[in-house]
Amino acid sequence: MRSLATALLRQMDPENAHAWALLALRAGLAGRDATPDDPRLAVPLFGRTVKNPIGIAAGFDKNAVALKGLAGLGFGFLEAGTVTPRPQPGNPRPRLFRLDEDRAVINRMGFNNGGIAAYTQRLAAFTPRPVPVGANLGINKEGADPEHDYPAMLATVAPFADYVVINVSSPNTPGLRDLQGEARLAAIFAALPRERPPLFVKLAPDLSRPGLEAATDVAIGAGAAGIIVTNTTISRPPGLRSPHAKEAGGLSGAPLAPLAREALRVVARRAAGRLTLIAAGGIATGADVLERLRLGASAVQIYTAFAYAGPALIPRIKRELLAALDAARLRDVPSAIGTELQ
């Protein structure tokens, strides 16, 4: 039934399908994976042991409305958002496009969300939390003051989040990616309260090598817990076949994987074990997960592959990851982390 529902959603307008998927998750209609995770999948993360290294990326549940349903699907952790200080409608539709031929998505949603107040109420209501939940924070398109807005939002969500992400890398808010520059990012970190949950910053795959290294240095110097590598790309890799390939916005899915892998390699070498890294971008199989672990990530996030395959993807990836660990003669997930960097 879940496979049938996923196939039906694939026939709908992408944004309408996303809305229906959230409704199904809220109503408990998306099913539940009650199979206990193999202990070999457990990994230290966010100051605790997480049952598996597979999380849902920000963007899927912007308003934290479907956390209970998502937690039941077998994810090791969840990330809700991106949320902004004030509600905003985002960019005009259409703003979400499937690139079926490329197993990819382009979005220019523009941080559409209901604002921090309603979001925080939902985070607070999600208790007890069966898995860690992260809060992904952004800024409004108009009237933003990053050095004020990020600290204020962090203070608001801190009692109810297991970790917090400063999103300075979405391509769909004018000027946001400029905040990844060394001086501006350092100023934002300096304004943040020192008492906080584990703090991550999310970077773009389009940063140059020096830009990635500089942002990594800032995160280390500011006492951040880690970096999420990476957000979507504004580039269009050669070979895209979909008629939607020229739409404006951030590209995710399979074509993003080479850029995301290389960015992870750069950040991991620079961080040299001083940060926890979470990999995202083009991850769809257990082999993909193991590859990112070996490049220095402690965990991964998925979105586009989940949008294409539905809830059945999560148990499949975990089975494939266990098989990949066995094939590589690796004991467990922690023993795989960074083995390609040695």
Residues 33-66: tens digit of each pLDDT:
989 999 999 999 999 999 999 999 999 999 999 9
User: Which residue of the set 170, 242, 252, 298 is catalytic?
Assistant: 170
The first and second tokens of residue 73, run together, are 């699907």
Residues 164-192: tens digit of each pLDDT:
999 999 998 988 998 999 999 999 999 99
Annotation says 170 is catalytic:
yes
Residue with tokens 């083995």: 339
- Listed in sequence order, the DSSP H helices in the chain are 2-10, 14-26, 67-71, 116-125, 146-157, 182-191, 209-221, 257-271, 286-294, 304-309, 313-327, 333-336
Q: What are φ and ψ of residue 144, in 5° steps?
A: -80, 145
Cα separation, 74 vs 318, whole angstroms:
9
Percent helix, strand, coil in the chain (nearest 5)?
40, 15, 40
Residues 113-155: tens digit of each pLDDT:
999 999 999 999 999 999 999 999 999 999 999 999 999 999 9
Task: List domains and CATH numbers for the chain.
Answer: 2-336 (3.20.20.70)
Query: Shortest CA distance to 95 belongs to which of 112, 78, 70, 117?
Result: 112
Q: What are φ and ψ of residue 300, in 5° steps?
A: -135, 165
Band (pLDDT 50/70/90 cuts) for residue 2 is low
